[in-house]
Structure 1
């Protein structure tokens, strides 16, 4: 059997009538109702029909899992110490601001004596000795570098070394200035999986938004980010980077990408800033950054291996410029050569197609294959001389020594 409310089906009474009679009825009803309440409520309380808190030992009070319920009211307590907040608390104190200070020229072209801040970024203190990782483009061209600590204090920093190809730089500050800061722990970017949490910490837009935390996921691994020579405008290298949707904005460069364990797994470097594109940022894998950072600390530069050749892309040459009888469409043509490479068995016009087991289609692929090596390492070079495919083994030289 159902219960139906047929109130809306009842005929509506017309408005009007005697106002005095309506007021009288209302007053009588109120008096009767109040009197009944005064008489009945004490009797209902004594009969335990109505419970009043504190009136008896069976008060409706219970506590479960951090919440307290009294009658119909509930006070909830929520534990906000999640894995993300714990990870942030481990790394955040080690995130600093980095200011690029340069001497500018006045209206008459004279160099000013004071320095102006021409750019800001972020950095990660990773060693109690005062070593800080940041991006090369953050400190590029700086006459001086200042580091802003979490408490707002600004200190001088020395640039130990920079690397254009990997966009990394290492700074050094006085250890006494950072003795109260726990350095960030570096993790293993090789163990990352797509979809796991990613936390970006840095100083977007400068000190005003210092130590901003944004959260997302690892969107993709092994993305290729082009490195362009500013003078020529040509792409000269390709960085392997981590893609994340954790918000990365100007000023975040050089900051940390952190995993759920509170370990730095990447150094934030860039984002796609095209209109209509959101949530595509890139970070340098820390496992690839570490050997570069160590060389910058030890030597102040990267000793990259060289073959002693000047290469050009085969695909960039016209039919008339290509070597005669070449039987491949892609590769690197030796345009000029040193005595070092000649002794190894190479010649002008040879088309290099493979270094060890790595296919070489252009100069970028050649550099990536070589920069995984060290001076003194031996490599196998596969190349074409006319229609003939040849292979040699040569020892890589040191940049600056090979002529």
Structure 2
């Protein structure tokens, strides 16, 4: 019955011309891919006077370029002399916005040449049709990824959700390593990879996972997996209108897939998985679920990036995104330097553009440049060097424009944060500022941003504490997503969206739910409420709360929530009842393993400073960065649809477990 319902749901989604209904553009937007058959059309071989000269006429002499082309044809016999395939499809069926089937022909792409140093190409050589690259060596470096995921249950943090599987793409980069997207192996319990044309899957290990840049590094220990393998080489950053070829294993079939397009735009882009903003390449080539983690090539056969997400909206078409090689190289160098991924640093300030002449005059800025520091994050190193009201006019001697942009290549400009993303954790930046009309230079140590409400949980399992049936856990974006924004409440949601961490390790601790018992009579209906104090002490994080409970000697445990709401428990009676309650609800432990470690107080500031729970004073959204429709194009055959307070997988006998999720990006002026 569930299969029939799923098939009915899929057919309903693509009915009425295939247009997406308006309600699908909500925060839990739905996107799924339906399998469509390939349109096979065998191309006939063309007659060539050089190959079959007409009887009685002399054979035509070949020029130098024609001789090179003939050599290519001898090396790749499946490519015909008119550029078409002799025995394979020269096109495939795509499903456009109106629901009609259209034939998309593959266009040109570079032809690689083998060498003893990886992938060596010559841009002057004759290009061939993309649809005829089935024998190209660099395609053999692209593998299919099979991942089994077991995600935490953030509403019931002592357990995990039911496992599901997905497929994606990856490619070889040498030294026994593969690159793919971080979201392809998120919450992985098993990762396997399979090479093109083989039927053996090999177990892979995740070495590093970069959430912000959506890149993961894999390794395969079995030596036979690497027999005859030629790793890909990373190419340069492409230019606008450069041809790009996306290779991977998307929905629609089991074999490798190739799609062709051009580079449409290069700018700082919102990354859906990490909710970060890094350099991105926009292309118009088809990127579908399963393409994620696959490489994108230029016409010379060089890898220019990693496919990872698409933009879905009724108002746009064919907008896909590729992680450029500059970001990939930063990730790999970070891993080589530190033996692990440490993240992309940030400056830790909120900025305002200085386009208005009166504003510049008021701040004593003589030229049409610079951006205003309107807030400094307390946890950043910039708090010791920068102040509110400073105007940043240069970063490492690069002038910053009044729109927050800096020169990029020859005739382009790019967002100021691009320069910051080129740095590594612990690097020092020289910043030129105007303070009180006086120019000066300061130095700032760059570190990754401290998120008050994290987008991903380190270690994969959320922390929790149960006291007499009261379930406490830190607020996180996955918890908000599971619980549904409506059940969180506007006030708590505003804190989650706009508050800043005042010190490293600060968390918003919430009472997730109450497990009904005679010890907590009258509190059963409470859920998703922030707890502020225990017996008059401000709570810094979930570990601090556990420490306060363990060290309490008072008769009562008095929990204070927003709006002065109180929960009072008799301490000895509540703690004594916890053991039987855990048994009744089948919970293995009253707290997560990380809370069993001794609590170390890292706060040196006066505790009176904790009595300042400000919120609503951080970044203001700007339509210029309004990427609220980004949807990662991956999790082939593993997309799930999110319902309020639950997650239900939709099954299809043809596609397996399908997950559709829209990741909202919070636009900001954060640097």
TM-score, normalised via structure 2 length: 0.40
Match in the other structure for 2:591? none
Match in the other structure for 2:322? 283
Count of residues in Structure 1 that have an aligned counterpart in Structure 2: 315
Structure with a larger share of its residues in strand: 1
Matched, 1:101 2:148: yes
RMSD: 4.2
Match in the other structure for 1:74? none
Q: Specify whether residues 395 and 194 from structure 1 end up closer, same or farther in structure 2 by C-alpha distance, changes over 3 A only.
A: closer
Match in the other structure for 2:188? 142
Matched, 1:382 2:432: yes
Match in the other structure for 1:214? 259
Structure with max Cα Rg: 1
Q: Specify whether residues 336 and 166 from structure 1 end up closer, same or farther in structure 2 by C-alpha distance, changes over 3 A only.
A: closer
Match in the other structure for 2:374? 333
- In the TM superposition, 1:24-63 aligns within 5 A as none
Match in the other structure for 1:346? 386
CA distance in structure 2 between the partners assigned to 1:355 and 1:263 by the alignment: 32
Moved over 6 A (4+): 400-403
Q: Specify whether residues 123 and 297 from structure 1 end up closer, same or farther in structure 2 by C-alpha distance, changes over 3 A only.
A: farther
Decide which of 422, 427, 432 is 1:372's aligned counterpart: 422
CA distance in structure 2 between the partners assigned to 1:306 and 1:193 by the alignment: 27
Decide which of 236, 240, 250 is 1:204's aligned counterpart: 250
- 1:87, distance to aligned residue in structure 2 (A): 8.5
- In the TM superposition, 1:171-210 aligns within 5 A as 171-190=218-237, 192-205=238-251, 208-210=253-255
Structure 1 window deviating more from structure 2 (143-152 vs 349-358): it is: 349-358
Q: Secondary structure at the match of 2:332?
A: helix
Matched, 1:247 2:286: yes
CA distance in structure 2 between the partners assigned to 1:313 and 1:78 by the alignment: 57
- 1:240, distance to aligned residue in structure 2 (A): 2.1
Q: Specify whether residues 199 and 219 from structure 1 end up closer, same or farther in structure 2 by C-alpha distance, changes over 3 A only.
A: same
CA distance in structure 1 between the partners assigned to 2:395 and 2:243 by the alignment: 37
Q: Specify whether residues 261 and 91 from structure 1 end up closer, same or farther in structure 2 by C-alpha distance, changes over 3 A only.
A: same
Match in the other structure for 1:3? none
- In the TM superposition, 1:46-85 aligns within 5 A as 64-67=49-52, 78-79=80-81, 80=84, 83=128, 84=130, 85=132
Structure 1 window deviating more from structure 2 (221-230 vs 242-251): it is: 221-230
User: Which protein has greater RCO, CA pairs closer than 8 Å, 6+ apart?
Assistant: 2
Decide which of 255, 271, 277 is 1:227's aligned counterpart: 271
- Given that residues 337 and 348 in structure 1 are in contact (C-alpha distance below 8 angstroms), is that contact kept between their aligned partners in structure 2? no
Q: Point out where structure 2 has 5 or more consecutive residues left out of the alignment.
A: 1-46, 56-78, 86-126, 354-358, 406-413, 451-502, 505-671
- In the TM superposition, 1:271-310 aligns within 5 A as 271-275=310-314, 277-296=316-335, 299-302=339-342, 304-305=344-345, 310=348
Q: Point out where structure 1 has 5 or more consecutive residues left out of the alignment.
A: 1-61, 71-76, 316-321
Match in the other structure for 1:123? 170
Show CA shifts across 1:194-219 (max 9, x none).
4443221101128x333111223x33
Show CA shifts across 1:213-257 (max 9, x none).
1223x3335233223577xxxx642x3223333221111111011
TM-score, normalised via structure 1 length: 0.64
